[in-house]
Structure 1
Amino acid sequence: MDEKITSLTELPLDILVLVFPYLDAKSFLALCGTCKAFHQDSIRLDSAYWAHQTRSTFRVPNQPVVQSDGARWQKLYRRLLTQSRVYTWGSNSNHRLGHSYDPVFAPGHHIGGMRLAHRRGQVRSYTPKEMDNTRELGIIADLQCGHVHSCGEEGWSTTVLTSNGTLHTAGVLNGEHWTGEDGRLQALSFPAIYANDVAHHEPTIAIRQFSAGRSHILALSDSGRIWAWSDASQPAMHIKFVNVDLAEVRKSSNRSSTNEESNYGHVRQVVAGWSCSSAYIHGTGIVLWGPVRSAYDGETDTMLVYENFEIPRTGYQRARGATRESDEDRILGQEVGVVMNYIILENFVVFVTDIGKVFCARLEESNTTEDILELRALENQDGNALDVQGSFRRFAVFKGGEVIIVHQDYLDECWDARITNPEQTGIQGLKKIPALQHNGVISVAFGDYHFHALHSSGKITSYGNELQSCGALGLGGDGGPTGRLRGFDFQGQLRTSSLVPHAYTHGRQIWFRPEQNMWLKVMDQGGKDYEEVKERKELFNADRNVQGEVSEWVEQEGRAWDKEKGEDGLGAFFALRVSAAGWHSGAVVLVNEDLERRDVYDWENSTFPRLKLSDGTEMPGSKDFDEWREGIPNWELDVEV
């Protein structure tokens, strides 16, 4: 007879991890401090425990790429208790940035001898600025930007989710007239019958996941109920279906199980797309329906959807235990697998499965689709699961350490060739930006013309273009010549800003310290000795290659501002979430105020750099040559975005 276990430390790790979720963070840390056996990293930094605690306590969205990084999840848990802030940047039309401005007219740009002024509420923010009145909301778990319709009438919004499960929006969702205060967030509300539930964060209305589409917001409550808003000033509508069974739970849960019997009818995820709404429902798959318009009459709180469509072959769930699969299910599991994540683009649904495959389905009239198509060039050959993120017309596939950027045009070509070229041989359109490869990228957020990458280091890098120099990249420069130091190349009378090719070798990082933008202005003005600087500034302005290399030197110097770390090993600013849409962007950032206040760079005494360039050219001037902190990069300049 086996010996009896007399100590908790004698239990195997796979048993202990089943016990840990029942402990709160304080109790878990106390347990880990009782003996050396429990203080080892495999237990103290157990990724499953800290990911669960962080997501369930603060409603932080899952980040599959770093799911197994226990140390990171623990650090996020500690910082989220006190340090979350919300920043936005770009165009502030309809107050979507949540910034208030006092002047009726704000300074604009000089174009053709004319000075342009921006109307009230249309002031641009070229660098991240904290949203007004967000600290009073408590801990912010998530942020999403509403997309913009091509005619410019919809989706001018930024929405945040608090750790209490409440949603708050700045701007407008569907072109409705702005009714809130200037730059003021307004809470998204529920029908009057739920008034008493709001204060108690009841599971039916406490939101655990949401999605901002072009002109509407979808949300999923703790109980698994779907809510929809198409007007920020109107209460939500509860979504039900005539021909799809839904089931709710009565307590908050991240429900990671894929057991079909226990999860049947539960909604795992909602995604608000460009022209449709969607949900992943266990046992059914991805379900699409047309966005509903607010029709609250003071009594009815439910919208019954009569017409919805399922994406074929997306409902498969792997059998557990002794459950036997039918031959049809077994084949489906081998050919498609379990849907792990999905996105809705303008004309396509794209999803990834647990066997390392990527599929798409083209949306036809009324959001119907005839079939799904595997994107063969994106398959992960080792069979490990992938991730997909994107919106409107672009998306990113995460494969190992690679990040592949794809435009919707590529999907069109693959779809049109599914009969004549089923292997998709020779179809071009997959892009790998050097700065995104094997560089800790955990998410990518797309606007209409720009996009951001969030790195596991908590840094955000920017790519693409800014129409009318609207500030959507968040790199500073105030839309003028100073922006050249960050790598901006201005084109045309409307001053569309694009990044020089050099910016894609290592990326351009968003700065959250206001002093860094002041530093740019000091350098652009020549610093202490304008005459000494004059000749090389002329070279800089005239030669795009020189501009590219100088802007990279500035980038390396900019990274030096965050060299000091806190006790948790994180810098002053650690981005948790980034979002982009249309002409604006936003981020949830964990801020260490002690580090934020420290002066780490002598920017006031800086001057325009003098460099030895990669082709051997020595920039003119009499000052000593400036050193490269990280060395001159091996440039990769043939990148198209």
Structure 2
Amino acid sequence: FGSKPTPLNLSNYNWKELFKLRSSNQVQLYTWGSSQLGRLGYLLSEAPSENITNSGILKNVHTPTNLVTFNGIIVSDISAGGFSFQILTNEGDLYFTGVDWKKGERSTLTPGPFKAFDYKPTAASIPHVESLGSRRSLNGMLMPFMGRRYDRNIEVPTSNPSSDRQSNSNLTKPPEQLDLSLPSQTGSTVKHQKKVKETNLVTKLLLPDNPEFPDRYIISISSGREHIIAIDNYQNIISWDTGNTSNVGVHINFEGLKYNSINKISAGWNLLACYINHIGIVVWYSRSSVTKESFEDNTMCSNANYLIIPNTGNCKIDDFHAGCDFILYIKDGLLMRFNLHTYGYASGSTDINLVEDPFPVLGFDQWLNNYNIDNNGKASFTKITGCYNNFSVFTNDGMVLLGKKVSTEEESEEPPIIIPQLQKNHIIHVVMGDYHYMALTDEGDLYSWGTESSRCGCLGLGAKDQFISQNSSNSVVTDLGPGKGMLVHNPSLVKSPSANGKWLAITASGWNSGGIFIPK
């Protein structure tokens, strides 16, 4: 079910019930926060009026609001980038919300192609076709709407012949050779699940139509500021970044590396990383541009400009996280950090052979040592989450530590931030945006805190004035002023969209938040 954890306490639910919940088409997708560029996936006119901020020129959504496009769809995972959400369905299809997953037109930024654009055919080189399948379809590729806004959503086809995984082989066989067996779950014959109907603010991302990899589908996703990576069922990495010329992803190759499987992917703010057994943590800061030949044969291949973090290949890496110009990872139960000069490596202004050695994050490791001494325990770090320069680290006995990237190795001695309400309180996941945080419990409850900038609504706690009025006597919140947002000091419960429902997964980035919810 994607990369996010499944909540709900196992003492209350067995594995069969957990599977039933996560594979249910009753799950609902919710988004809230800034509404700029349609990133919530719906028009404000489609959201309940009571969920929308009532002041300011720009209207935003302050309460979790259902993205109805995905109702009736089994949603496996949700991830958030700087300008859109990415939604992975149970059938391995990937969609993004908003007008684009990046800020604007294609550009040369890390971790995309830095020195040249991907090949794009000119108008003169495009052969004449009698008709286009939709306003997004051009020569078999779905093109994003760039910067357009509409007062209503127009449904478009979800696929075209060139994007189907495989044609039905029975169409070319005589009657005595027909295959009458039942289709596999991930096969290319007619699927039983309801289809996602694309709109102006929900668009499907496509995999390269490479005959070497039939019946491709996505099994895991991760999002950075203006880029997305995914693993397919062949253990290939596919990327969508600032260099893409369409909604078709780019197949990332690592020249010189041979591997059978990828353990995990992580999209940082301006770089990408994956962990491969016996090779280590592979980080790439840019890629080569897609050539005309690769474009025309539909392979869409690109070589990553990568490095391998020293001493991560022949040891146990429990988890890792990609941030902005750094990688955090847990090695032998302790927290380590590796710095990169991402822009310098991509531009050639910094010698890639002069990479720094990883170093321990002493403030966290010293805290863990003291914690174990004080409690006569053997706790270790097990999990990392984060966004930009902020991160969280979990221990195997329920402690949750927050931190922020510091500039130098010497500053790494700064101790972690400990929020009492998070400690040994069944927290299983923490996500964060620019200035706000959310935590998910194993009972399916959601808490949020931090700064809600310019009344963007990212905390999901409802209207600012009402929340401040309800908490005026307990020092939970500070009003940042008229027309501005609020600072919520303590984790506060986000009201469930329906009574007794449970949150199954959460995500956040920038001034936005989202989650997968199942009503009861």
Tell me the TM-score normalized by structure 2.
0.70
User: Counterparts of 2:161 and 2:279 in 1: how far apart (Å)?
Assistant: 29
Contact 2:385/2:392 (8 A) holds in 1: yes
Q: Name which of 330, 346, 359 aligns with 2:324.
A: 346
**Identity over aligned residues, as a percent?**
23
Residue 267 of structure 1 aligns to a residue whose secondary structure is coil
Q: Paired residues, what number?
A: 403
Cα root mean square deviation, aligned: 3.3
Structure 2 alignment gaps of length 5 or more: 105-145, 168-185, 190-212, 347-351, 370-377
Residue 448 of structure 1 aligns to a residue whose secondary structure is coil
CA offsets 1:129-148 (integer angstroms, 9 cap, x no match): 00131124x2111101112x
Aligned to 2:263: 268
Superposition deviation, residue 206 in structure 1: 1.1
Superposition deviation, residue 227 in structure 1: 0.7
Residue 312 of structure 2 aligns to a residue whose secondary structure is coil
The structure-2 alpha-carbon separation of the partners of 1:294 and 1:453, relative to structure 1 and needing over 3 Å to count, comes to farther
User: Counterparts of 2:385 and 2:226 in 1: how far apart (Å)?
Assistant: 19
User: Counterparts of 1:158 and 1:185 in 2: how far apart (Å)?
Assistant: 19
The structure-2 alpha-carbon separation of the partners of 1:299 and 1:69, relative to structure 1 and needing over 3 Å to count, comes to farther
The structure-2 alpha-carbon separation of the partners of 1:190 and 1:268, relative to structure 1 and needing over 3 Å to count, comes to farther
Residue 333 of structure 2 aligns to a residue whose secondary structure is coil
Aligned to 2:403: 406
Aligned to 2:3: 61
The structure-2 alpha-carbon separation of the partners of 1:482 and 1:281, relative to structure 1 and needing over 3 Å to count, comes to closer
Superposition deviation, residue 78 in structure 1: 2.1
Aligned to 2:469: 484
Superposition deviation, residue 398 in structure 1: 0.6
* 1:225 and 2:236 matched: yes
Aligned to 2:388: 392
Contact 1:127/1:471 (8 A) holds in 2: yes
Aligned to 2:57: 117
CA offsets 1:528-582 (integer angstroms, 9 cap, x no match): xxxxxxxxxxxxxxxxxxxxxxxxxxxxxxxxxx5xxxxxxxxx21111110000
One-letter identity of the residue aligned with 2:29:
V
Aligned to 2:223: 212
Residue 164 of structure 1 aligns to a residue whose secondary structure is coil
User: Counterparts of 2:258 and 2:160 in 1: how far apart (Å)?
Assistant: 23
Contact 1:168/1:186 (8 A) holds in 2: no
Q: Name which of 482, 497, 513 aligns with 1:585.
A: 513
Aligned to 1:282: 277
One-letter identity of the residue aligned with 2:505:
R
Aligned to 1:510: 494
Superposition deviation, residue 232 in structure 1: 9.2
Report 1:355-394 matches (<5 A): 355-364=332-341, 365-366=344-345, 369-379=355-365, 380-381=368-369, 382=378, 384=380, 386-394=382-390
Aligned to 2:418: 432
Superposition deviation, residue 287 in structure 1: 0.9
Contact 1:405/1:432 (8 A) holds in 2: yes
Greater relative CO, 1 or 2 (CA 8 Å, sep 6+): 2
User: Counterparts of 2:155 and 2:441 in 1: how far apart (Å)?
Assistant: 28
Contact 1:476/1:483 (8 A) holds in 2: no
Q: Name which of 285, 298, 301 aligns with 2:299.
A: 301
One-letter identity of the residue aligned with 1:498:
L
Contact 1:179/1:233 (8 A) holds in 2: no
CA offsets 1:137-193 (integer angstroms, 9 cap, x no match): x2111101112xxxxxxxx10111111111111022112324687678999989947
The structure-2 alpha-carbon separation of the partners of 1:204 and 1:290, relative to structure 1 and needing over 3 Å to count, comes to farther
The structure-2 alpha-carbon separation of the partners of 1:373 and 1:235, relative to structure 1 and needing over 3 Å to count, comes to same
User: Counterparts of 2:336 and 2:160 in 1: how far apart (Å)?
Assistant: 36
User: Counterparts of 2:64 and 2:245 in 1: how far apart (Å)?
Assistant: 24
**Structure 1, 464-473 or 368-377: larger mean CA deviation:** 368-377
* 1:144 and 2:79 matched: yes
Q: Name which of 456, 462, 474 aligns with 2:448.
A: 462
User: Counterparts of 1:206 and 1:347 in 2: how far apart (Å)?
Assistant: 30
Contact 2:504/2:516 (8 A) holds in 1: yes
Tell me the TM-score normalized by structure 1.
0.57
Aligned to 1:78: 20
Superposition deviation, residue 465 in structure 1: 0.4
Structure 1 alignment gaps of length 5 or more: 1-58, 111-115, 148-155, 248-265, 317-336, 418-423, 515-561, 563-571, 593-641
Superposition deviation, residue 212 in structure 1: 0.9
Q: Which has the higher helix share?
A: 1
The structure-2 alpha-carbon separation of the partners of 1:467 and 1:306, relative to structure 1 and needing over 3 Å to count, comes to closer
Contact 1:208/1:221 (8 A) holds in 2: yes
Residue 44 of structure 2 aligns to a residue whose secondary structure is coil
Aligned to 1:636: none
